[in-house]
Amino acid sequence: MIVKMKKAKVFALKEYEDKLKRSLQRFGVLMITNENSTTHIADTQYEDSIISRSNRIVKELSKYEPKPSFFNPKFQIVDYDRFKEIHPEQLELLDQVEKTLADVSKLKEENELSKESITSFAPWLKLDVTTKDISNLYYVNIYLGQVLAQDVESFSEFLVTSNLEYEIYDKDANGVAYAIVSKNDISNDLKAAKFNLVELPVLDHSILDEVSFLQNKINENLETITNLEEKLKTYALSLDEIRLLSDQMLSEKELKKYEAEKTERTIYFEGWVREDQVDLLEKAVSKVTSEYEIDLRDPLPQENPPTHTKNNKFVAPFETITNMFSMPSYHEIDPNPVMSFWYWLFFGMMMGDWGYGVVMAIVFGLFLLIQKPKGDFKKLVQVLFYASIPSVIFGILYGSVFGISFDIGKALFGVPFKLFDPMSDPVTLLIVSLAVGTVHIFVALFVKAVRLAKEKDYLGILSDVVSWYLIIPGLVMLLVLKNIQVIAWSMVGVGALMILLFAGRDNKNFFKKITSGLGGLYGISGILSDILSYSRILALALSSGVIAFAMNIIGGLLLGPWYGYIFGVIVFIIGHIFNFAMGLLSAYVHDSRLQYIEFFGKFYDGGGYAFTPLKLQYNHIYEIEDNL
């Protein structure tokens, strides 16, 4: 059912604008559409930066929190009185955590540098003079450098021929370390001899001392890091405060999008409100001030109000299937009550295995119960949970459990529940699928008739709906019942005549009327191909059944020796999980397709947009508790 909307204008004194906005946000009942709100561009830099900073902190620190398990998930529930106030401590905490994180990364970086230095010093540990002394020499030059292992031989010859004094130190990946003493500047000669100069930092203590100094520093830093991480762990205990901050800022940001229309003394907001929430709107405003005025009116015919669908517990989850196609527009019939039943039924016919049905019920039921998902995702899981029931029913009718042929009725009560086996008797299921599909299409045509009646297009009902109600059963009778051919032919004839006469009812021109009529008659091929499309029910039922059956055979081939049982069971489990997942996906996709194209194609336009009132926004928090 599509909820009726009212256009509301809320007047108040100017000084109450902010309070009014907050109260409207708290109640979440008004979808504000006034011009100032839709045109002005809010500056939300501050909010955005706090949101992204807090989200980063949540990401970094959540690893220090105790991990919530599947069976024990965490739900952060906040009272509205707490939510509405951003405490300065929260911002302080944000700063502190950021500073600590920065300190940690700085120390880690420092350690990386120290480690690099230590490795580069490795060949020079035996150098017994300080580098400061070397650089201060006045009469001789000392060259420090390395020679690659393959060049050492030629370099030794060079040293001998040049008659240079030198000392050899250790070697590493960059080659053997040398210190060479010379009175002259021989840097070019050395370079020619493949001697690579090494720049050591100028220090007034030995390299060995420097290494142990760096090592000490690394250890000290590591200790500081552990202390800081301890500190982060204590911060992580109040991570919920940061999460709260992020969500509070999100709501503040949302609030900034809206601005009232102003006069000298008063302001007003204009927007859509659900008819069943008018009293809530009144309450939201009266909480702020007693000097107010709410002006309500019905939507004008040229206006396009937002859509909000309100359905019972069974139908509501299926709204997500429809909305993925297109939301109903405000003036349309809500297709969900009819569609939901068929979606539910077809899903079961396509899964068609009561083993898988029971698994669906357990998996999705537990997920709903324990993880408590929200929004569209929750609706999707609910759809799958509901669909477990027809999966079990059709599984019993097909006599299939995890691909094993088994009649549960016979086993328990001695009465066969199994109607037919799709694998050995696919033609029966094909006929059933097409028959059910025809009924589905007839239902869609009926909804179309209701819609045409609303538009007072009674000829349309004859040409677009009643005609098919005659033609399709007529054709079936022609095929099946050979003895009442006269009735069958006359049904087809009358139906065709209706289309021929009335399909072109909107055209004044006689020839156009005739061509439209013929075009309408051509629609028979469309309807027939629509009906044929339901053969996918058979294909999917059979494919999940046969693949499960094949997995059982492959697993069964391995049984025998004790290790065969291990592999066999693994094949069973993996094979069935795969088949189960593929079956779910195929059923979801093809069931949707049958609704979107074969069903909605007959009567449904969609094109609505969702009712999105100004309300509190939150991503991290599960729920805000509030006594309105």
Partner 1 sequence: MTPGLIYALLGAALAVALAGSGSAIGVAIAGKAGSGVISEKPELFGRVLILQVLPGTQGLYGFLLSVLILVSTGVLAGNPAALSDETGMAFLYASLPIAIGGLISAIYQGKAAAAAIHMIAKQPTMTARGMTMTALVETYAILSLLVSILMWVRIPV
Q: Which residues bind partner 1 (CB under 8 A)?
A: 321, 324-325, 423, 425-427, 430, 532-533, 535-536, 538-539, 542-543, 546-547, 549-550, 553, 582, 585-586, 589-590, 592-593, 596-597
Q: Among 366, 360, 437, which residue's Cα sits nearest to residue 391? A: 360
Compute the distance between CA of residue 234 and CA of residue 93 in angstroms, rounded to an integer.
11
Per-residue tokens: 311? 């359905």
Bridge partners of 296, per DSSP, are 8
Sign, CA torsion 47/49/53/58: positive
Phi, psi of 11 (to 5 degrees): -105, 145
* Beta carbons of 537 and 547 less than 8 angstroms apart: no
Smaller CB separation from partner 1, 427 or 453: 427
Q: Is residue 116 packed enough to be buried (19+ CB in 10 Å), middle (13-18) or exposed (0-12)?
A: exposed
* Beta carbons of 587 and 217 less than 8 angstroms apart: no
Q: Please, what is the minimum distance in Å from the beta carbon of residue 535 to partner 1?
A: 5
Tell me the three state secondary structure of residue 374. Answer: coil
Q: Please, what is the minimum distance in Å from the beta carbon of residue 325 to partner 1?
A: 6
Q: Which residue has the tokens 């599509």?
A: 2
Q: Please, what is the minimum distance in Å from the beta carbon of residue 584 to partner 1?
A: 11
Per-residue tokens: 6? 């009212």
- From residue 30, alpha-carbon distances to 10, 22, 84, 291, 308 in Å are 10, 12, 19, 19, 13
Smaller CB separation from partner 1, 463 or 579: 579
* Beta carbons of 440 and 599 less than 8 angstroms apart: yes
Smaller CB separation from partner 1, 515 or 592: 592
Q: Please, what is the minimum distance in Å from the beta carbon of residue 588 to partner 1?
A: 8
Smaller CB separation from partner 1, 363 or 430: 430
Smaller CB separation from partner 1, 156 or 543: 543
* Beta carbons of 372 and 73 less than 8 angstroms apart: yes
Smaller CB separation from partner 1, 197 or 589: 589
Smaller CB separation from partner 1, 282 or 598: 598
Q: Please, what is the minimum distance in Å from the beta carbon of residue 307 to partner 1?
A: 15
Smaller CB separation from partner 1, 201 or 601: 601
Q: Among 274, 154, 167, which residue's Cα sits nearest to residue 610? A: 274
Q: Please, what is the minimum distance in Å from the beta carbon of residue 597 to partner 1?
A: 7
Q: Please, what is the minimum distance in Å from the beta carbon of residue 33 to partner 1?
A: 21
Smaller CB separation from partner 1, 129 or 324: 324
Q: Please, what is the minimum distance in Å from the beta carbon of residue 397 to partner 1?
A: 19
**Cα 24 vs. chain centroid, distance in angstroms?**
29
Smaller CB separation from partner 1, 140 or 589: 589
Smaller CB separation from partner 1, 26 or 590: 590
Compute the distance between CA of residue 282 and CA of residue 291 in angstroms, rounded to an integer.
12
* Beta carbons of 115 and 211 less than 8 angstroms apart: no
Q: Which amino acid is at 560?
A: G
Q: Among 503, 437, 500, 519, which residue's Cα sits nearest to residue 472? A: 437
Q: Please, what is the minimum distance in Å from the beta carbon of residue 606 to partner 1?
A: 11
* Residues 6 or more apart whose Cβ sits within 8 Å of residue 362: none
- From residue 446, alpha-carbon distances to 169, 455, 587, 604 in Å are 96, 14, 25, 12
Tell me the three state secondary structure of residue 325. Answer: helix
Q: Please, what is the minimum distance in Å from the beta carbon of residue 387 to partner 1?
A: 17
- From residue 448, alpha-carbon distances to 194, 216, 443, 454, 495 in Å are 90, 83, 9, 10, 17
Smaller CB separation from partner 1, 76 or 592: 592
* Beta carbons of 417 and 409 less than 8 angstroms apart: yes
DSSP class of residue 16 equals G
Per-residue tokens: 335? 């297709």
Q: Please, what is the minimum distance in Å from the beta carbon of residue 582 to partner 1?
A: 7
Q: How many C-beta atoms lie closer than 10 Å to residue 114's C-beta?
A: 18
Q: Please, what is the minimum distance in Å from the beta carbon of residue 257 to partner 1?
A: 20
Smaller CB separation from partner 1, 385 or 596: 596
Q: Please, what is the minimum distance in Å from the beta carbon of residue 619 to partner 1?
A: 13
* Residues 6 or more apart whose Cβ sits within 8 Å of residue 209: none
Smaller CB separation from partner 1, 273 or 547: 547
* Beta carbons of 37 and 25 less than 8 angstroms apart: no
Q: Please, what is the minimum distance in Å from the beta carbon of residue 587 to partner 1?
A: 11
Smaller CB separation from partner 1, 155 or 342: 342
Smaller CB separation from partner 1, 325 or 469: 325
Q: Please, what is the minimum distance in Å from the beta carbon of residue 321 to partner 1?
A: 8
Q: Please, what is the minimum distance in Å from the beta carbon of residue 553 to partner 1?
A: 6
Per-residue tokens: 334? 């809500």
What length is written for the chain? 628
Bridge partners of 267, per DSSP, are 12, 262
**Start-to-end C-alpha separation, the chain:** 26
* Beta carbons of 57 and 97 less than 8 angstroms apart: yes
